[in-house]
Amino acid sequence: MQSAHSTHENVISYEARRDRVEALISRCAAHDEEALEELYRLVSGQLYGVLVRILREPALAEEALQEVMVQVWQRAKQYDAYRGRAMTWLVNIARYRAIDLVRQKRDFEPLESAPLEAITDVEDFTEVTTSQRSQRALASCLEQLSADQQRCIVMAYADGHTHEEIAGKVERPVPTVRSWIRRGLLSLKRCMES
């Protein structure tokens, strides 16, 4: 379904969107509710998409989206350490929350630790900023992986599947899947560093 939000996401350029999201996060740090609302309009479709895909339960994903946006509101002051990678910051807050919720549902394990995004770390990570150029390099490197490696990595990252679940879906042994993923990640790293 093409939503009004996703349409809005598509019509603005990568840089304009990144800059706008960054500016809005900065205003959220000053507790500007209008900024939070605009940020929500701009990113909620993508974050909800992440949550629905991993959690597979719309009601749970709605709850998680609320938590994620409130976290962003409360932690916006910490964003300076991530400058230049706004969407990566936001998407991973959502992904890590979804993975924790899946873990709680499956294993009844306590959520013993705050997600990494809760860490107040002042170290500057701007040097690892992903520019549009490196995004293109990343796309190119992903294309160099074998079809099996790509498929398994996407199933883990985007769907939140474990090695065992992926093995069941692709009907291959777990060690084979582990090996595909491990080698795929190593190839990706080498390609990105070359």
Site for another protein in 160-179 (CB under 8 A): 160-163
Q: Does 65 bind another protein (CB under 8 A)?
A: yes
Least distance CB 122 / another protein (angstroms): 10
Q: Does 74 bind another protein (CB under 8 A)?
A: yes
What letter does residue 124 receive in the DSSP assignment?
A: -
Contact 158, 53 (CB under 8 A): yes
Q: Does 5 bind another protein (CB under 8 A)?
A: yes
Owner of token pair 């304009």: 16
Q: Does 156 bind another protein (CB under 8 A)?
A: yes
Span near another protein by CB under 8 A; candidates 17-25, 44-52, 168-176: 44-52
Least distance CB 181 / another protein (angstroms): 7
Nearer to another protein, 12 or 182 (CB): 182
Q: Does 53 bind another protein (CB under 8 A)?
A: yes
Task: Transcribe 142-189 into DSSP letters.
Answer: HHTS-HHHHHHHHHHHTT---HHHHHHHHTS-HHHHHHHHHHHHHHHH
Between helix 86-107 and helix 14-29 the angle, nearest 10°, is 70
Nearer to another protein, 16 or 66 (CB): 66
Site for another protein in 89-148 (CB under 8 A): 91-92, 95, 99, 103-104, 107-116, 118-121, 123, 125, 128-130, 134-135, 138-139, 142
User: Using DSSP, how many helices (H) and how many strands (E) does the chain show?
Assistant: 9, 0
Q: Does 73 bind another protein (CB under 8 A)?
A: yes
Nearer to another protein, 27 or 125 (CB): 125
Per-residue tokens: 135: 């995004």
User: Rounded distance, CA 66 to CA 87, Å?
Assistant: 17
Least distance CB 188 / another protein (angstroms): 6
Owner of token pair 């959520």: 111
Least distance CB 85 / another protein (angstroms): 7
User: Rounded distance, CA 179 to CA 153, Å?
Assistant: 11
